[in-house]
Each structure stands twice: as structure tokens, then as C-alpha cells.
Chains A and B, each alone.
Chain A
């Protein structure tokens, strides 16, 4: 397993409901003539923690970026919280304010302080009064354990701190679904733990999460489902125990042996 230490996970809080949060039906996407996502079918229930793994270029990032329409799919359907993603701008903005996203390179706004990063969207998208937005922001900054950095600029923080601010920034919109696009890939090993711990805490709070990550330890401890993608297709999905202990496809076995082999 991956060597990154994490804190213990309390599985009792993490319950999956019958309600469907995200439904993707026969979705296809091309970059130019390159068929990057092929016939994706996926239903995500509320409260699920799904880890998406796969070699680079397999389309896993593109898949989760389709869910908040940072990428546009060409056919098939994506329904998020009952709202179908079409070219209708209103629906897109509605989905985006319900779905939080954390990026590999944090993408904090460098010209704003940590607190301003966190209050920007609540104030300008949700029209929350500034005072109230600041209270909410401080609440989530405490949750990710960096309230003392609220007045600093992102450039003054370490990578792990920046990523935790990015998580807090997303949480301030009080999303029902969180997407993580390789949240620890740009971090030093010493900082991966602090970010993973924050993500575990989120999972324990019952957040619906889709994570693209190479942290297989996290997948094993937190996920209720692991999806393996290759060449733009979902090759295998299973609960983490079976996924890691007896993968069914040859491609999955090869992938797992490569990333866990040493």
C-alpha cells in the first residue's frame, strides 16, 4: 500500500443513501478527434466516496471535470442533483454552486487573502452578507486547521496549507458534492497527510466525494467504491477490499502491481 500515513477512519458516520446524487448515462466526449471518454455509465449515490484510479491519460480527470462542466460532453446525459447539464448557462451555474472542486494545483486566487478567497463566492454568487460569509469562512478554516492564516496571501503558505485553504474555499459554498482532481499530486510527502486527513474528516461528515487520486491507502480506508479507468472507459469497479485483493481484469492487475509493487 501507499506509504503515506493517515489518521484512523471512523466508518460509522459514512452511510450511503438510496438517493442518487449524480447520474451519468452513456456519456461520450472527444477532444478534437480524440475519443477521450467512451460510453461512461455511472450512478453516484448520496454519501458515496468514490476513488477513480487509472494510468495518466485514461480520462479520469476529464470525467470529473465533466460533472461540473469544466469540460463539455458531446453526447449522453449527466444529471447532477436532478439538474441535467446542457448548454443552458443557468443550469450550469446552479450545478457549479452545488458542486465543490479541488484542483491539483490548488488554483487559489493569489491577489486575495485566504479569507477573501473563502468569502468571494458566497458573497458574489450566493449573495451572503459579508459578515455572515466571514463567519462561515472562519468556521471552515478552523475545520481544515488554519484559521490563523486567514489574513495571509496564498503565496505565503506551504502547498499543504494552500490545498487545505482550497478545500475550505469549496466548502464555504456548502456544496452537496465534492470533486477532487489529484489533490495531493503536487505536494511534498510531508504535506500529503494533512490534506488526506482533512478529506477523511469530510468523508466522515457524510459528504458525497469523487476523488481522482493515486493514494491507494486513502482509497482502501475511505472509499466505498473504487473505479479503474483506462483508455477513456470504466474498466472495473468494486468495493476497495475486492478491488485491491482480487482485481478481475488483467489491466487492473497490471496497474495495481505497478503502483503498489514496490
Chain B
């Protein structure tokens, strides 16, 4: 009876065995080292080789960083300081260029007296994003808003912001912090208004333009309500038509007249002055926020049963994906004006944003289509069987799950798109990596400096992209719905 599983004797367990801890070798540091680094002669060799490579790289680059100079007014001065301190022939980084020219890397040729405007826009970005990105956790939302508020206000003070605007900033952050505690969905109102506010603060001009754009939307909404009484189909189309009519025929003149009556203008800044990370982030944020909805629509269209809709989506996606981004940017720079009515001049940054958005949307559509395809057919059937119509089924059942599956792909596309904003160098915009660095090097003091600007720009890109990547991992964890 001692060995119950061998032999034909009947056996009955009298009591169930208790749970016991695993043997010591199976836990802790020893096990980890054994399993991950030294599980066999080949792996032990690879571990040692890897350590040697890491040491070689460190040994090679560390002195260069350790000898870096932060206080100098030109590259030759840097070299002199390094030679004096560390001896002739010693290598060293000259980060003084960042100290001297950081403002160009951040703001391009934006008027220095107005640096506070894009800074405020950047700070408010977090308020606009908080109810969207951090809606699940009140704690994280609080931390993000607090950090953004403190960092933005300190920067604004340092940048000599006019006191009215400092007050506005304080007020917005204070209200946002309060509202975010209890009624975070109210913040979505600010998120909706944020793009207009951001465009106005960055490019300047009359606030009447913003008011007139909103008024156009208001008329559209009125039309939606009135026409909605007659037929729901009419409501949507008449809202769009009325809005466009107001914008085209009324807004312009009305804004000019109102501006003459009572001026609400701030200094205009041309697109050519916008550069550095201000440009990269503007294009990136605009492209990201617009390419996601467009990508969703394209993905749904591509899977549509309607032949015309799906073939248009396929043609669009395949065409955009089949062409290098630079081609599209050249089209934006040169060709787009031929297709527009004569006399209309279209801002170059806006044109570039449109092209980058279309480009990212095509990739986004394919990523989301993957998520849609991964959803079991049973989900569609259950939604149908409950009587949900197509749009409700998509919005409530299909997209929440498909988008969740696609998060890694979506964020990859975002990251790729954000890095691709450096390609606007080819249409003459002052993005930070090439054109700003060229502009800095064009000056005799910093002629020949290459590594340090690249490292600085690369580090900022890395911080932003890595944040996006970490955010996507956080989101995936938070949306985990089962323990399978």
C-alpha cells in the first residue's frame, strides 16, 4: 500500500496533502542566475561575452561624457578647456552648445519674447489629455495634472509671461485640478476646445477667428436640431452644409469687422518661425489625434460589405502605404496648391500635418483591421442577436475590444509617426534634428559640432517615445479583463 499507483490493489486516500514550499534551489537569486545567465557552457560564454561588450562600450564612451564641457561660447573654446583640463588629445563632449542654443532646439525661430505662448500650449496639452488618457485612475490623473501645472507655471514665470496670461494659466490649472477630482468628463469640453486655443496661441492673430469658427459650429448644431425634427438623415448633412456655409461666407468678414470694432488680437507668428521640438510636437500631436479616428473609419470601411466603400478604402490605404512619406511631403509643399482655388494660400505646416495624418492613418487602418479580424465572430453574432444596429455594435462591442487588441500596434504607429516628423526637413521646415542643427552649425562658433546636438535631440525623442511606450503598457495592464 506504500506505493498506491503501482500494483492492482485498491487504494483510498484518507487525507488530502497540504501545500508545501518549493525546494530552495527553485527560488530566488540563485535560480534566476542559473536559469537566465549560466544555464549551460554556451550560455555562460555568451553572458561573459555580453558583459565584455558592455564594458568595452562603457570604457569607450564614458570619458567622453565625463570630460564634457557645459560652459563655453564656442566649439574652439570647448576644445581648449578640455585640452587644458584633461591634457592634449583627450576627447570630450561639448554640451555647451545645448546650453547656448537650447531655445532654438525647442522653439525654432519663434520670437523669444513670446516663448511663453507655446509653453502654455504644451502645458495645457496635459489638461486636454487627462480625461482621455488618464480617465481610469484618479490618482494618476492627479499626479499628471499637478506635475503639468507646477512645471508649466514655473516655466511661464521664467519666460516672463505677461501677468494676465499667468493668471489665466493659474485659473485653468486650478479649475482643471478641481474638476478632475469629481467630474472629470467635464474636462472633455476643454479637450474639444483645446485645438482651437492651441492654434490661436501658437500662430497668434485675432481671437475673433476662433469665436467665428465656434459660431459656425453653433449654427451647424442649430441646423442639426431643426432639421432633425424633419428627418434624422437630413440633420447630419444640413449641419455640415450650414457650418461650411457660415465658415466660407460669413466667418471671415465677421471676424474682420469684429476685430475692427474691438481688437482681441495677439501678435501673429509665421509658420516659417515655428521650428524645433515645437514644430515636431505640433505636427506629432495633431497627426496622432487625427490619424486615430481616420484610421478607425478606414479600417471599418475596408471591412464593409459595401463594394464601393471598401474599394475606396483599399485604394486609399494601398496608395498611401505604397508611397514614401517624403513624396507626400513634396506633394504638400509643391503640388497641393495647384489643386486649390487660386488665391488661397494654405499654411505649409497645416499642409504637412494633413499629409502626415493621411500617411499615419493608412498604417493605423491596417493595424486596427488586424484587431478587428482578431475578434471572434461570436462577438458580432451576439451583438446582432441582441438587436444592436451596426454603429452601436461597432461602438459598444467591436471597437472597444479591437482597439484594445491593437494598442501595441497603434502606439508603434504613433511612435513611428512622431519620429517621422523629422522628415519635414526635406520641405524646408526647421525640425530639430537636421535643419535646426544645420542652422546652429552655420554659425562660425559652432561649426563642426555633430554628436552633441544629435545626442540631445535623440534623448528628447527617446523620452517622448519611451513615455508613449510605457503608457501603452500601462493601458494594456489596466484593460486586462480576465485572469486567463
Contacts and interface: CB of A to CB of B under 8 A. Distances in A.
Contacts of B385: 68, 70, 96, 99-101, 103, 170
B387 A93 contact: yes
B309 interface: no
A5 B381 CA distance: 31
Interface stretch (A29-37, A151-159, A197-205): A151-159
A126 B396 CA distance: 15
Contact of B404 (A96, A111, A154): A111
A108 B382 CA distance: 8
B483 to A, nearest CB: 6
A96 B384 contact: yes
Nearest to A100: B385
A211 B106 CA distance: 68
Interface string A143-174: 00000000001111000000000000110010
A125 B386 contact: yes
A120 to B, nearest CB: 6
Contacts of B384: 68, 70, 96
Contacts of A153: 481-482
Given A111-B404, A155-B482, A125 B379 contact: no
Given A153-B482, A154-B482, A107 B378 contact: yes
B101 interface: no
Contact of B396 (A100, A108, A120, A156): A120
Contacts of B481: 110-111, 153, 155
Interface string A97-133: 1011101010111110000000011001100000000
Contacts of B381: 70, 103, 107
Contacts of B484: 155
B388 interface: yes
B306 to A, nearest CB: 13
Nearest to A126: B387
B293 interface: no
Interface size class of A (residues with CB under 8 A): 20 to 34
Contacts of A124: 388, 392, 396
Nearest to A103: B378
B285 interface: no
B389 interface: yes
B378 A155 contact: no
A155 B382 CA distance: 16
A167 to B, nearest CB: 13
Contact of A125 (B378, B388, B397, B479): B388
B400 A111 contact: yes
Nearest to A169: B386
Given A70-B384, A109-B397, A93 B378 contact: no
A153 B479 CA distance: 11
B404 A125 contact: no
B401 interface: yes
Contacts of A93: 387, 389
Interface string B316-344: 00000000000000000000000000000
A33 B400 CA distance: 36
B483 A125 contact: no
Nearest to B377: A107
A150 to B, nearest CB: 15
A125 B396 contact: no
A96 B222 CA distance: 35
Contacts of B397: 109, 120
A169 B396 CA distance: 15
Nearest to B400: A111
A105 B482 contact: no
A178 to B, nearest CB: 11
Interface string B363-405: 0000000000000101101101111110010001100110010
Interface string B466-484: 0000000000000101111
Contacts of A94: 387
Given A155-B481, A155-B482, A155-B483, A97 B387 contact: yes
B387 to A, nearest CB: 4
B400 A173 contact: no
Contacts of A96: 384-387
A78 to B, nearest CB: 15
Nearest to A122: B386
B40 to A, nearest CB: 38
B482 A121 contact: no
Contacts of A125: 386-388, 392
A97 B404 CA distance: 28
B400 A121 contact: no
Interface in A16-48: none
A110 B383 CA distance: 13
Nearest to A89: B389
A155 B479 CA distance: 13
A110 B382 contact: no
Given A154-B482, A155-B484, 11 more contacts: A93-B387, A96-B386, A97-B386, A105-B376, A108-B382, A110-B482, A121-B386, A121-B388, A124-B392, A155-B482, A155-B483
Q: Which 10 A-B pairs have the closest CB atoms?
A: A155-B482, A97-B387, A107-B382, A107-B378, A121-B386, A96-B387, A101-B385, A125-B387, A153-B481, A111-B400
17 contacts: A70-B384, A96-B384, A97-B387, A101-B385, A103-B381, A105-B376, A107-B379, A110-B481, A111-B479, A111-B481, A120-B396, A124-B396, A153-B482, A154-B482, A155-B482, A155-B483, A155-B484
